[in-house]
Structure 1
Amino acid sequence: MSKINRFSLINPNKSPFFYGYVVLIIGSIGVLASIPGQTVGVSVFTDPVKDALGLTRNQFSNAYMIGTLLSAFFVARAGVLFDNYGARYVAFFAAFFLGLSLLLCSVSVEISDKIKSIISFQSWIVPFVLMTILFLFIRFCGQGVLTMASRNMIMIWFDKNRGKVNSISSITVSLGFSSSPILINKLIDNHGWEMSWQILAVCLFVFSICIIQFYRNRPEDFNLKPDGKVKELKNTIKKVKTEKNFTLKQAKNTRAFWMIGLTLAFNSFFITGFTFHVVSIFASQDYSKSQAIAVFVPISIIAISVSTLGNILSDYVYHKIYLYIMLASGVLASFGLLFLSNPIGIYLLIIGLGILGGLFAVVNAVTWPRYYGRKHLGAITGKVMSFLVIASAIAPSLFSYSFTILGSYKYISYITITFILFLSIGSFKVKNPQ
């Protein structure tokens, strides 16, 4: 017990209520703490940082792509570390190094200039390589590890009420993610992009201490049961007989793993590309920066509503229904971007992205333990996270080249609609491997 609770003053066994609710709160905050490493947190810094470093939009997008792709190679391994060491230590180091990476980002201009003077090489390649390395760290720690560890921890502490609990977490996370561009943009306007990254870094250092104090790996470590209730022996035996804990290798042999994983990756691709270039996308249609950022408000309202309803129903309905709805909403978002010059296109884009974001929060959290069990959850979700990271890596560059070479962002829609058609055909025979 002392080893499990090392460095902490909090003992779950002495909690006057089920400690899983503490895990729910602190884990949800953990997902929010990953925002500086998410596209939604990076995108607001795009224009001021690329201008300060002397990089073009394509160069900055490519640095983001390469850094994110490199991080994908390590995310799957982090899932194995989660299974071996638990959420507590994995999340602590992720939060700490994310904060450290943001500090380095805040002085990236100074570092770039120093390197140029040392090697006597005045070229855009220096800041490009520097930002690639920094993006590797912030994407790996933020989008990858901190998000995965925090979300998985919540799911491990609940079973029967997993969907209901995730609805609470999803509302919090959706509100935080949707409002973060507005808040970070205001932070940048008031303090500059350098100081803004430093403020976020300090917040992460403080939260890393909270992780050690409040994060806990499994209820069984403290002789507790998921959901806080000791089930009858008969029910326990029944559960053992009917539930199978899949290894990553076994999960990859099922159709559901690939179709659901690739659908989530599509969501990551589209939302990342849109978010990263949201100001430019709407500027191409003569909208202001404030109007572009404000579009996240209606998207978040839809996402929260869909996520809440989807999580509550997730304990009672087949999850492949969510898969079909996500594919349909992807079509709406794609046509919205294709016809963005028309007001109807904006509505389609908002509705499509809202439904996508809402169901993403359900499927990516609840479906994996429901389909494949809890024992190897880290390895399985870590592999899926690598799909999401790769998709989010290539999105900004493809969106950027669509605009700079072809003259419009709408051409991305042809790619996304084709991919959705492929996923729709492959998803017809998806079933729960349990």
Structure 2
Amino acid sequence: MSTPNSYSFVNPNKVPFFYGYVVLVIGSLGVLASIPGQTVGVSVFTDPVKDALGLSRNQFSNAYMIGTLLSAFFVSKAGLLFDRFGARYVAFGATILLGFSLMLCAVSVQMSEHMQSFLDIHSWTVPFGIMCVLFFLIRFSGQGVLTMASRNMIMLWFDKNRGKVNAVSSVTVSLGFSSSPLVMNYLIDNHGWERSWQILAVGLFLFSFCILQLYRNKPEDFNLVPDGVRKHIKKVADTPKQIVKDFTLTEAKRTRGFWMFGLILAFNSFFATGFTFHVVSIFATQGYDKSHAIAIFIPISIIALSVSTCCNILSDYISHKIYLYIMLTAGVLAASGLIGLSHPLGIYGLVAGLGIMSGLFAVINAVTWPRYYGRLHLGAISGKVMSFLVIGSAIAPSLFSYCFTTLGSYAYIGYIALAFLLFLILGSVVVKNPQQ
């Protein structure tokens, strides 16, 4: 049976400082390594790839949706693997799979041509089917498993300082995600989309070696404790003992908090993905050009970064139920802003709502789950929630498009969102921390 330090030259017990800080750095880099499998990483390749494959924008988007939906059904299973084998091997496998998938994406045109020739079928269905499979692979390995394993690993190494540590990680990840389109555009402009995917794949293969060297599942494997500080045991009769219950996924699903927090995160994933995917078209309906539409992400990012930093730090001291209520309020602001986008107040509401939701998403999705349900089954619980997020992000672009092309306005999405948020508001009234 392999030891926690197999295949590595780095021993956490021999590091002159708390190894959790190494985990913080390498885990944050792991989330950044998932960018090729995230929407922000895929969208840069949309136009050159769809044109090379002979697919329309709708066909390419539908392939993305199908692949993403398929990945949602397997992400929760990957959470069980995380609990059984730990972040190190799960993240390693996900990184290798993501790199291999990008290599296949780079030769997708050749694959399509060979398949069409072999089957004697010259139809868009062949490249469409190939991209469905490839999107499933990169979304499952990148957006799903690698992100989940890296984030959960950081949370397992910290307890009392979990919020502060997540603040550092969130800022790093946010800056990396914001700058990634520029980096990928540079690669595509200078090397073409095929070679760019190959370069990213090689980078992932190199990073997989770093995972084996530096990823570690939990501090207890090395006789360490979260935060690196052992609690002093006071022999005082009236000192209450803090009891932490480790919920299984089945037990967590019986609590109201699991569903309310999970569904508001899924709503954020749905609304933010749909808005991002159609931002140019949304603002074009109000007479704004592309540059003005893209510029809206600057104030949204500033708000999100500020909210994430402050709320991550405060999360070590205040009830997370407050964050749920704030995120619901922000959702109402965003949905109302989309409905009233023709008025300046609508734009302000949309920007504020999206910024606050995005900032709180980084807090709740990382810190709340171990705080509410313990660390033992964190993979299964967060994996199930990740499937909610993936489903939300998968259906959003098509539903936004349907409302606009069929009903004539994106405002109908706002009405649908408000109805869903009303349901969540009513359900969240009596939410409480199950640890209490």
Q: TM-score range by the shorter chain?
A: over 0.9
The range that moved more, 410-419 or 318-327, is: 410-419
**C-alpha distance in 1 between matches for 2:382 and 2:146:** 12
Which residue of the partner structure matches residue 351 of structure 1? Answer: 352
Which residue of the partner structure matches residue 20 of structure 1? Answer: 20
Which residue of the partner structure matches residue 232 of structure 1? Answer: 232
In the alignment, is residue 212 of structure 1 matched against residue 212 of structure 2? yes
In the alignment, is residue 110 of structure 1 matched against residue 110 of structure 2? yes
User: Cα distance 1:287–1:114, how it changes in 2: closer, same or farther (>3 A)?
Assistant: farther
Which residue of the partner structure matches residue 62 of structure 1? Answer: 62
In the alignment, residue 96 of structure 1 is paired with which amino acid?
I
Which residue of the partner structure matches residue 370 of structure 2? Answer: 369
**CA displacement, residues 214-248 of structure 1 (integer Å, 9 cap, x when unaligned):** 1000101111110001112349x978752111111
The offset of 1:259, in angstroms, is 0.5
The offset of 1:96, in angstroms, is 1.2
User: Cα distance 1:389–1:408, how it changes in 2: closer, same or farther (>3 A)?
Assistant: same
The range that moved more, 246-255 or 60-69, is: 60-69
In the alignment, residue 163 of structure 2 is paired with which amino acid?
G
| 1:340-419 equivalences in 2 (<5 Å) | 340-419=341-420
In the alignment, residue 318 of structure 2 is paired with which amino acid?
V
| 1:19-418 equivalences in 2 (<5 Å) | 19-234=19-234, 241-285=242-286, 287-418=288-419
**C-alpha distance in 2 between matches for 1:325 and 1:186:** 38
SS of residue matched to 2:93 = helix
SS of residue matched to 1:148 = helix
CA contact (8 A) 1:43 1:275 kept: no
The offset of 1:180, in angstroms, is 2.1
User: Cα distance 1:239–1:378, how it changes in 2: closer, same or farther (>3 A)?
Assistant: farther
**C-alpha distance in 1 between matches for 2:48 and 2:351:** 26
Which residue of the partner structure matches residue 432 of structure 2? Answer: 431
User: Cα distance 1:298–1:405, how it changes in 2: closer, same or farther (>3 A)?
Assistant: same
SS of residue matched to 1:242 = coil
The offset of 1:71, in angstroms, is 0.8
User: Cα distance 1:336–1:108, how it changes in 2: closer, same or farther (>3 A)?
Assistant: farther
Aligned residues: 433
The range that moved more, 393-402 or 244-253, is: 393-402
In the alignment, residue 133 of structure 2 is paired with which amino acid?
I
TM-score (norm 2): 0.94
**CA displacement, residues 331-362 of structure 1 (integer Å, 9 cap, x when unaligned):** 22223333344444333322221111110000
User: Cα distance 1:337–1:268, how it changes in 2: closer, same or farther (>3 A)?
Assistant: same
Report sequence identity in percent: 73
What 5-or-longer segments of structure 1 have no aligned partner?
none
SS of residue matched to 1:405 = helix
User: Cα distance 1:294–1:53, how it changes in 2: closer, same or farther (>3 A)?
Assistant: farther
**C-alpha distance in 2 between matches for 1:21 and 1:260:** 28
**C-alpha distance in 2 between matches for 1:44 and 1:336:** 27
The offset of 1:161, in angstroms, is 0.5
**C-alpha distance in 2 between matches for 1:418 and 1:122:** 45
In the alignment, residue 399 of structure 2 is paired with which amino acid?
L
User: Cα distance 1:333–1:184, how it changes in 2: closer, same or farther (>3 A)?
Assistant: farther
Which residue of the partner structure matches residue 7 of structure 2? Answer: 7
What 5-or-longer segments of structure 2 have no aligned partner?
none
**C-alpha distance in 1 between matches for 2:119 and 2:232:** 70
**C-alpha distance in 2 between matches for 1:196 and 1:292:** 27
User: Cα distance 1:286–1:37, how it changes in 2: closer, same or farther (>3 A)?
Assistant: farther
**CA displacement, residues 7-62 of structure 1 (integer Å, 9 cap, x when unaligned):** 11111111010000000000011111111111121122223322322222322222
In the alignment, residue 390 of structure 1 is paired with which amino acid?
I
CA contact (8 A) 1:179 1:297 kept: no
SS of residue matched to 2:393 = helix
The offset of 1:287, in angstroms, is 4.8
The offset of 1:303, in angstroms, is 0.9
In the alignment, residue 145 of structure 2 is paired with which amino acid?
V
**CA displacement, residues 293-333 of structure 1 (integer Å, 9 cap, x when unaligned):** 44333222111100000001101111011111111111222
User: Cα distance 1:104–1:65, how it changes in 2: closer, same or farther (>3 A)?
Assistant: same
In the alignment, residue 91 of structure 1 is paired with which amino acid?
A
SS of residue matched to 1:337 = helix
Aligned CA RMSD, in angstroms, stands at 2.1
**C-alpha distance in 1 between matches for 2:409 and 2:56:** 17
**CA displacement, residues 156-213 of structure 1 (integer Å, 9 cap, x when unaligned):** 0000110111111111111112222333234333333222222222221111111111
**CA displacement, residues 124-159 of structure 1 (integer Å, 9 cap, x when unaligned):** 111111111111111100111001000000000000
CA contact (8 A) 1:98 1:141 kept: yes
The offset of 1:2, in angstroms, is 7.0
